[in-house]
Amino acid sequence: MKRYSVWMRLSVLLLGLFTIFNYSTISQAEEIDGIEYMGTDSIVITDYTGTASNLDLSEYFQDATEITIKAWAFAGTTITSIVLPENVVSMGESAFDASSIQTITFSINTKSLALGKNVFKDCANLTGLDIPDCVTVIPEGLCYDCTSLLSISLPDNCTSIGGSAFYNCTSLAGVSIPASCTSIAGSAFCYCKQLQSVTFEETENSNRTLILGTKVFESCDALTTITIPEGCTSIPTNAFWSCDNLRSVIIPESCTFISNNVFAYCKSLSQINSSNAQEAILPSNCTAIGSAAFQECTSLKNIEIPEACTGIGTEAFAGCTGLNQVVFVNADTSIEEDAFPTTQKAPNIVIYCTNVGSVTIYAENASLNCESSVQTVTVTSLPDVREYMYSTNGELDLTGLKVKASVLSLSAETGYVNKEVNLVDCIISSFDSTQAGKQTITITYGGKQASFDVKVYYDINNTTVTVQPVTYTGSAVVPSFVVYGKDAEQALVYTTDYLYTCQDNIKVGDEAKLTLIGIGAYKGEKTVTFSIVSSEGLNESDGNGDSENANNGEANDTDNGGTSSSGTDDGGNSSGGTTEIPAPQKGKNYTYRNMVYKVTGSNTVTFMKPVNKKVKKITIPSKVKILGKSFKVTKISKKACYNCKKLTTVTIGNNVTTIGDQAFAKCTKLKKVTIGKGLTKIGKKAFYKDGKLTKIVIQSKKLKSVGKAAIRGVASGKAKLVVKTPKGKKKAYTALFLKAE
């Protein structure tokens, strides 16, 4: 029997029901070398409790007619290599899930071998897999999240590849799809970031069919070229979404439909069905192009749309700023709103057609010209983020920004109508995250402009501080120090760039502290230490200003206070070393390590939001320091991280008692949440529609309430949510979550 940790695992499959699966013990009849099994002729392996690193199953059960490996039998074991005998006929669901296996060898097998879904899921050390020809169906999730998998050999007789079979196999370099394969399900190779080569083996069968699932090659960043074989009749939604380096594609004549978002954000794509690197020719049987099908394909230059095509979806070519020429063979093609970029985004574009677009008329042999149709442009909603920290690669976050334009309309009685502008059709001025201070961002649409301001701050924690030891005087002392900013030769200015305080700065041997508080162009706090030495000699320092001590793991730095050991600073303060710094005010927001907190009490704060909503990982600590004072973080505000679309991991400290309503709702990439020991309440829709959330670790034994729909819509599709709870809390917490649904 496997022994599990004090955390109990709950598998939650949200399909309108809240079902809990326990890892229970499978009864056994026999055991040999840790292999638990039943039967004599037909062997069923139910569990493995041995400690061997290398296991050769062919040495066991040699007289058995067949061997079945049950679900989860080797899951979580420490086996690094295994040899499977030729009489294995079935391997159940998650048979090797999350095990330490690195290599697996299949013996020659003339019988058929059925593989359950997720057989090698989360086997992070598995480097290669040669699947025997007796396997005809690659199941769902076969190697899901096998991040070390370098190569895969599919069986010659393979007929189908299941959904997410090789999802997030980030090391997989190439794959050859057998000619017998007629179906590749959704997300089969999604997020295979190193996948450089996809080859479809040729077949003499003229009636071959091939069905591709949604997101089948989404975010395969290393893929540069691909030839889709004849027999594929449509390319599904998001099939090649965000394949950054995909430049050349062959789409077969059998293809009649290019679905929504198929090549969206393929920024290198310039060549389709042509030997010319700057020419894209869609297949002659293509009847329709879906919404955003080629959105942000900025390398597309010239494209020809066939006569069979009668419809182009909304924003189909939005953001294709490199477009020079679009040719419609069929002048009756229906063009949806914003199907093409305006001339401000693609100034050289010429469109040959006779249809009416959303902003202007596409007259035959006339250039697309939206400039004269726009009367005014107005910012109606400012971006959520308007304060940034200095960065060499920071990007402008336009989340929340809304712009409207007054545009000419042939159907409007007044001549003009107001419409919300798609930001991809605008020219937005450059943002420089390396330039501190106020920046005015202009938005240009149709030749008219609107603007808003943002600010960039330096982080005081990134300064370099040099501090001198101070001789003991019997009173509080202030060291001489200098603070250097980004430019190591430029010292910061006291009262312009920072304020400071000193603590524990009286006795010899005390770890005296100097705390800097950023002002003006600087934000945040930084604490360094300095030495107080006896008047008879310098102790604990060589006297050259390079103190060895550090605070919070930071290198010991110094500061430009212009202070002297006599105890008087440039601001005229006494040698007590306490600068007048305003105390944190209740109800006011403060920034600490790129996160915003509101002071709620004398020693408590609430986490409000990240400074940048594009943050990928968030740690909400137990305590923060604001203007030199320590505060407990006791609550996470309502909608604190709502719609943070790049957030993947959240860690919550032990002092947090409450997670507010919708605090992490619609964080569509959030995968894991770890919650500390103080939690008592989870608000309504706290993790609502977090489709990739598959793991929540709850350390608290105090949880009393879970708001309605708190985890509704998580682990979408066939994924499962695993919730780990403290020992003894499984039943109570299950009831809370069930009630919330």
In this prediction, residue 546 carries a pLDDT of: 33
- Residue 276: the pLDDT is 78
**Separation between Cα atoms, residue 158 and residue 135, nearest integer Å:** 7
Q: Is the pLDDT of residue 459 over 50?
A: yes
Q: Is the model's pLDDT at 678 over the cut of 90?
A: yes
pLDDT of 571 higher than 80 = no
In the chain, count of helices (H) and strands (E)? 1, 60
Q: How confident is the model over 377-382, as a mean pLDDT?
A: 93
Say which residues have a Cβ less than 8 Å from residue 384's Cβ, sequence separation at least 6: 397, 399, 400, 613
Quote the pLDDT of residue 23: 36
**CA distance readout (Å), 531 to 467, 473, 536:** 9, 13, 14
Q: Is residue 603 scored above 90 in pLDDT?
A: yes
SS3 sequence, 305-343? ECCCCCEECCCCCCCCCCCCEEEECCCCCEECCCCCCCC
Binning pLDDT at 50, 70 and 90, where does residue 535 land?
A: low
In 3D, which of 661, 679, 670 has the Cα closest to residue 714?
Answer: 670
Cα 58 to Cα 37: distance, rounded to the nearest angstrom: 15
CB within 8 A of 731, min separation 6: which ones?
A: none
The pLDDT of residue 558 is 32
Backbone phi and psi for residue 303, each to the nearest 5 degrees, phi listed first? -140, 140
CB atoms within 10 A of CB 383: 17
Looking at per-residue pLDDT, the higher value among 30 and 674 belongs to 674
Higher pLDDT, 731 or 6: 731
Identify the pLDDT of residue 246.
Answer: 96
Greater model confidence, 34 or 563: 34
Q: Can you say how many angstroms the Cα of residue 617 is from the centroid of all Cα atoms in its chain?
A: 8
> Following CA atoms 541, 546, 551, 555 in sequence, which dihedral angle do they give, to the nearest 10 degrees?
-150
Between CA 727 and CA 386 the distance in angstroms is: 45
CA-to-CA dists, residue 286 to 113, 270, 312, angstroms = 40, 18, 11
Q: What is the DSSP string of 584-603?
A: PPTT-EEEETTEEEEE-SSS
Kindly report the CATH class assigned to 373-457. mainly beta
* 3-state SS, residue 240: coil
User: Rg of the Cα trace of the chain?
Assistant: 32
For position 372, what pLDDT does the model report?
Answer: 37
Please provide the average confidence, as pLDDT, over all residues in the chain.
82
Q: How many CA atoms lie within 13 A of 570 on its CB side?
A: 15
Mean pLDDT is lowest, of 177-181, 246-250, 546-550, 585-589, for 546-550
Query: 730, 678, 703: which is closest to 6 by C-alpha?
Result: 730
Task: Name 281's Cβ contacts closer than 8 Å, sequence gap at least 6.
Answer: 272, 273, 274, 303, 304
For residue 353, pLDDT beyond 50: no
Q: What is the DSSP letter of 736?
A: H
Q: Report the alpha-carbon distance of residue 466 to residue 545 in Å, rounded.
A: 6
With H, G, I as helix, E, B as strand and everything else as coil, classify residue 646: coil
List the one residue out of 582, 577, 590 whose CA is nearest residue 501.
Answer: 577
pLDDT for residue 448 is more than 90: no
Model confidence at 374, pLDDT cuts 50, 70, 90, reads: low
Instruction: Give percent above pLDDT 90 in the chain.
Output: 53
Task: Give residues with Cβ within 8 angstroms of 257, minimum separation 6.
Answer: 233, 234, 235, 286, 287, 288, 290
Q: What is the pLDDT confidence band of residue 185, given thresholds at 50, 70 and 90?
A: very high
Residue 371: phi and psi, rounded to 5, are -60, -45
Does the pLDDT value for residue 561 go beyond 60?
A: no
543 band by pLDDT with thresholds 50, 70 and 90: very low
pLDDT for the residue numbered 560: 35
Binned at pLDDT 50, 70 and 90, residue 329 comes out as low
Residues 6+ apart with CB under 8 A from 11: 19, 20, 21, 720, 721, 722
Residues of the chain with pLDDT > 70, as a percent, come to: 82
354-368 per-position pLDDT tens digit: 333 333 333 333 334
Q: 296, 301, 289: which is closest to 320 by C-alpha?
A: 296
Rounded CA-CA distance 32/339 in Å is 67
Phi/psi of residue 424, each to 5°?
Answer: -70, -15
First to last CA, the chain: 33
pLDDT 10s digits, 613-672: 889 999 999 999 887 789 999 999 999 999 999 999 999 999 999 999 999 999 999 999
Which three-class secondary structure state does DSSP give residue 517? strand
Q: Which amino acid is at 262?
A: V
In whole angstroms, give the CA distance from residue 701 to residue 619.
Answer: 21
Beta bridge partners of 212: 184
* Beta strand pairing call for 311-312 and 288-289: parallel
pLDDT at 641: 95
Q: What is the pLDDT of residue 136?
A: 94
Per-residue model confidence as pLDDT tens digits over 499-525: 998 888 888 877 889 999 999 889 999
Q: How confident is the model at residue 581 (pLDDT cuts 50, 70, 90)?
A: low
**Residue 596 to residue 590: CA distance in whole angstroms:** 6
- Whether 232 shows a pLDDT value over 50: the answer reads yes
Predicted local distance difference test score (pLDDT) of residue 611: 85
The pair of three-digit structure tokens given for residue 726, joined into one six-digit string: 């403290």
Domain 589-740 sits in CATH at: 3.80.10.10
Nearest residue to 606 (alpha-carbon basis) of 579, 619, 587, 593: 587
pLDDT number for residue 182:
94
Query: Which of 21-25, 554-558, 575-579 is predicted least confidently?
Result: 554-558
Name the residue among 481, 436, 430, 482 with its Cα closest to residue 459. 436
Where are the domain boundaries for CATH 2.60.40.3630 in the chain? Answer: 373-457
Residues forming CATH 3.80.10.10 domain(s) in the chain? 589-740
Residue 563 has pLDDT above 50, yes or no: no
Residue labelled with tokens 């609430």: 606
| Stretch among 70-74, 82-86, 117-121, 305-309 having the lowest mean pLDDT | 305-309
Is the confidence at residue 126, as pLDDT, over 70? yes
Give the Cα-Cα-Cα angle 658, 691, 684 (nearest 5 degrees): 30
For the chain, how many residues are written? 741
Residue 226 and residue 206: Cα distance in Å, rounded? 20
